[in-house]
Each structure stands twice: as C-alpha cells, then as structure tokens.
Homo-oligomer: A and B are copies of this chain.
Amino acid sequence: MLTYSFADLGSDSLYGHLYKCIRNDILQGVLAPGTQLPSKRAFAKNLGVSTITVENAYQQLLAEGYLYSLPRKGYFVAAISGEPAAAASEQPVPPPAAPEREEYFADFVTNSTNHANFPFSVWARLMRETISAKSEQLLVNPPPGGIRELREAIADYLFQFRGIAVAPEQIIIGAGTEYLYGLLIQLLGRDKIFAVEDPGYRKISQIYASCDAACRFLPLDAEGVEMAALESSGAQILHTSPAHHFPTGIVTPISRRYELLGWAARREERYIIEDDYDCEFRLLGRPIPALQSIDRSEKVIYINTFSKSLASTIRISYLVLPPRLLARFYQQLGFYSCTVSNFEQYTLAAFISQGCFEKHVNRMRTFYHRQRDILLAAIQKSPLASAVEITEEDAGLHFLMKINTQLPDEELMQRARRAGVRISFLSQYYHQPQQGAEHIAVINYSGVERSRIEEAIARLSRCLQL
C-alpha cells in the first residue's frame, strides 16, 4: 500500500502534507491515471493517521481534479492531459527589471507637492472622525458618481469660489483625471475625433492614443486654440484649458471663449472638455471664470482635480457633466463602481465643508507666491539675469524662461540633468515641432524645496555657461 512519511511536516497540517504527497506522485507519474487509491480506513490505519485526515486529503484532490470518484467503488487517479506536469514553483522568480527613477537636487518638472505643506494633522483628525462617526456609511457602496456628501461639498465650493452653479448629481468622482479621461472616451464614444492643444500636456494625447480614440493636435495663437484649425480638424470633442494653458500660460479671452462655445453649439455631437487643473493658483487678481459658467447650451464638461490643489498622491478628481449627458452616463456607465474609497471621499467632504480646503488653498497660494518671488529674486541675482527673459509668471505654478543661447534644448536639458537639476523645454510639449519655440524653459516651481532654490539657480547658471 502507498506509504508516506510525516517526519518533515514543517508548518503543514497532516492532511495538507498527505494531499501534497499524493498530488506530487500523480504529477510525477508515480501514480498512473486510473490507479485506484486505498480505501480511507485502510490508508489511515497504514499511515497512522485518522480517517478524517485521509478524507480531507481525498476531498481536496477531488475538488482540484487530481482524483475522481466512482460511487461505491472508491477514488481513482485522473488523467491529466495538456502541459507536461509541473508542481507549483517554491522559488520566487528573479525580479524583472523595473525602470529606474532618477533623483534630482531640484526638480522643476514634477507636479508633486512638498510634504511640509500638507495639512497632516487636520487630515488625520478628519480621518479619525470619519472612522468613528461614519462606520456604517463607510461600508455602504456609493452611487457610481461618488458619495453624496462629497458631491454636495464640491458643488457648494464650485458655486462659492468658481461661479459654477451645478447640482451635486452632475458631479462624478473618480480616481484621478487620467481615469476620468478614459471614462469620457467611453461616454462620448470612441468613434469621435478628439482635439487637444499643441503644445500641451503629453499625457492627455497619450491616453487618447492608448484608448484608440482618434486625436488631432490644434495649433494655438495668442488667444488659445486657433478657430480655423478647430473647424477644419473634423473634431467633435475639444479638450482645452482656457483658464490657464499648460505650458504656454495662455488665458483664453472672453471673445474666443464665445467662439468656442459657438463652435460646440453648432453640432449636436460636439462637446468641450474644460480641464481646469490649476485654477486655484492664479497669483494675480481673481481666478479666471470657468468656460462652464457661461455655457448656456450644455456643451461644456468641466474636469478638475484635488491632486494638484491638495497632494498629487491623493487620487481624487471629478467631472461636472451637463444635464443632457447625465442620463447617458447612468445608462451606459452606471454599472461602474466609484474608484475612490469611501474613507477618502468622506474625509475630503469634511475637509471641504468645514472650510479647511479653502484655508489650505489660500495658504498654498501665498506659499507659491512667495516661492515664485524667491525664485525670481534668485534668478535676478545670478548670472542668468542678463541672459533670460521671464514671462507668464502670474498665471499659475510655472513660468516660461527664454534663454539667450545657441545650444539646442536637448543639450541644455542634459547639462542641467548632470548638475542635478531637472528642467523641461517648451519645445518638448509640441506634437508638431514649432519654429521659435526653442530655448524656452518651462519652470514649474511647486515641488522644489525652498532651501535649494538658490543653489539650483547657481547650478543652472554654471551648466548653461552663462
């Protein structure tokens, strides 16, 4: 009769060990297909274990298909076809190479925020309060658009601070704008042609491409998207940031805004996606009103994020859908679960409705204002001063710095990189290479440590040989 040793049992249960021994013999061909196994009682006696142990091992092998049973006859080894038999590997596989990340002394490209600026204690308190006050609601599946409290808090905030009057039902919460772009492609249809700004955020067109949606690149003039290019592009959907274009800093004036709305109103299937990613951080004057707030034809889909205003590692963004798209959303995409956990939705709702968000944004605007002034002063004091021209410094968290040089942008970037400073150039954000866009650095200062600004500028001066 079959015999196995229970000597080196390790952490296994008796039945687990027996199961593995028999499975191994089946996989190795020691027990051929069709072989009858001993009766439970006889086998148990032979092995010196209980009948239950054998019963459990047989049941498991039966469930996994290594054995089959015939009524009143007993258990037999199954025929295992397919691949050459192989037991589960007990060795971890060698780790495949993952792309390396570079460390910089100063990073003028990243969108990440400094940990000193995050309101940890308030956030921790609200999280604690949420867990103790909302334990029941925390485990109730929210509607596909997100929890009611958060959508109400956002609607209220948009009305108070952005002049956008919407009902909470129009707001759809999602785990980051990148996720929401994908959702919009599904909502509006992959057969549509999407148009993006050139230059622009590369990720937007990457996502359209990755989702196999046709994408056109529209040139800009001083007021934003060129109307003639938009008209002739054949696009039905325009993705734009009229309040503050990245990276040029263009603010689309009111006349062009009406032209854009007029374009959208002329065809049933046309929509504008208004990407209002950094509206909170205009340093001069009032925020630029949203295109959404003057849209009378329900043609604007507004999108914004807390990743920019709160922390890039908190993944909460939202759409504001015009009423006419809302029914379509529930009908077509209502089966999707909301992608943000209830814990963070309730915490953020409290953070906004208790006024902490407004306070935080005001504090950050002051911080960024000061950050920019220190950076500009550092440039002013450095050898860079005479060789650069700064523009668009009031609009948001970056400005443009035109460098008087003959060196190609790629060379400038590599030199800065070797000096530990990460910068990007306007030319990199173009899909269609553009004359006159060279030597213009895009300086994003939101993530740079203040104590390093002076040294970073000194390094830039040196490596650019100015």
Interface residues of A (CB under 8 A from B): 15-16, 19, 56, 59-60, 63-66, 78-83, 85-99, 101, 110-115, 118, 120, 123-124, 127-128, 131-132, 135-136, 138-143, 145, 155, 159, 163-170, 175-176, 178-179, 182, 186, 190, 202-203, 206-207, 210-212, 223, 251-262, 265, 284-286, 288-289, 293-294, 296-297, 307, 311-316, 323, 326-327, 330, 332-344
**Contact between A16 and B315 (Cβ–Cβ < 8 Å)?**
no
**Contact of A313 with B64 at beta-carbon distance under 8 Å, contacts A78-B255, A285-B59 already known:** no
User: Which residues does chain B contribute within 8 Å of A330, judged by CB atoms?
Assistant: 98-99
Contact A165 B93 (CB under 8 A): yes
Q: Are the CB atoms of A82 and B178 closer together than 8 Å? A: no
* CA–CA, A186 and B212, complex, Å: 9
Indicate if the CB atoms of A19 and B138 lie closer than 8 Å.
no
| A95 CB contacts on chain B under 8 angstroms | 167-169
Q: How many monomers of this protein are in the complex?
A: 2
For the complex, would chain A's binding face be called helix, strand, loop or mixed by DSSP majority?
Answer: loop
On whether the beta carbons of B313 and A254 are closer than 8 Å, the reply is no
Question: Beyond A167-B93, A167-B94, A294-B86, is A65–B120 a contact (Cβ under 8 Å)?
Answer: no
- Closest residue of chain B to A347 (Cβ to Cβ) is B343
Tell me the bound Cα distance from A314 to B155 in angstroms. 24
**Do residues A65 and B212 form an inter-chain contact, with CB atoms below 8 A?**
no
Q: Which of B96, B132, B143, B286 contacts A60 (CB 8 A)?
A: B286
Hey, which chain B residues are within 8 Å of A114, CB to CB?
139
In the complex, which residues of chain B have a beta carbon less than 8 angstroms from the beta carbon of A86? 294, 296
How far, in angstroms, from A130 to B28 measured CA to CA in the complex? 48
* Contact for A112 among B112, B141, B288, CB less than 8 A: B141
- For residue A80, give the distance in angstroms from its CB to the closest CB of chain B: 5
Docked-complex contact A314 and B341, CB < 8 angstroms: yes
Complex formed: what's the CA distance from A313 to B59 in Å? 35
Chain B residue at minimum C-beta to C-beta distance from A88? B293
Q: Which residues of chain B have C-beta atoms less than 8 A from A323's C-beta?
A: 93, 96
Nearest Cβ on chain B to A274's Cβ, whole angstroms: 14
Cβ–Cβ contact B143 & A98, under 8 A: yes
A193 to chain B, nearest CB (A): 15
Contact yes or no, A175 B167, CB < 8 A: no
Closest approach, in angstroms, between the C-beta of A165 and any C-beta of chain B? 5
Q: Are B110 and A339 in contact (CB under 8 A)?
A: no
Task: Known A19-B286, A64-B253, A314-B343; judge A258-B115 contact (CB<8 A).
Answer: no
For A178, list chain B residues within 8 Å (CB). Answer: 336-337, 339
Given contacts A135-B120, A285-B63, contact A165 B90 (CB under 8 A): yes
Q: Are B120 and A131 in contact (CB under 8 A)?
A: yes
